[in-house]
Amino acid sequence: MKLATRISKQRIRRGYRVRNAVRATGRLRLTVHRSNLHMYAQIIDDSTGKTLVSAGSTEKELGGAGTYQGNKEAAARVGAALGQRAKAAGIEKVAFDRGRYKYHGRVAALADAAREAGLDF
């Protein structure tokens, strides 16, 4: 089996494993998506299948829209904005769904900023 195929399968399995463990908690789920250029995060209610709050580095308020936003500073801005919007919506406790990404670098920066903004996970 090629190395790229094996790594891809490992990432898919890791994503399923993390997501199923987070859903078992019964809390709202803070999910993260990381691309090469941007970071996105949203809080999802799995019981209704609705997104309650979202933030992304492509938003103008967060300095996005056409510029490179694939660094830790941009991820921290997204986490802080998501935390503020969640507090305004009355959301305090969530479960962190990192998906297939390791808790390191940009993902960790987003999580730390969301915690500082008042989210509990």
Q: Mean pLDDT, consecutive 10-residue segments, the chain of 121 residues? A: 87 89 90 92 94 93 71 93 96 94 94 96 89
Q: How many residues can be counted in the chain?
A: 121
Rounded to whole angstroms, the Cα distance separating 69 from 50 reads 26
Q: Which residue ranges make up each domain of the chain?
A: 3-117
Q: Which one is the CATH code of 3-117: 1.10.3210.10, 3.30.360.10, 3.30.420.100, 1.20.1090.10?
A: 3.30.420.100
**What's the burial of 115, exposed, middle or buried (CB within 10 Å: 0-12/13-18/19+)?**
middle
Position 23 scores a pLDDT of 86
Instruction: State pTM to two decimals.
Output: 0.85
The whole-angstrom separation of Cα 80 and Cα 87 is 11
Q: What is the pLDDT of residues 79-98, one digit of tens each?
A: 999 999 999 999 999 999 99
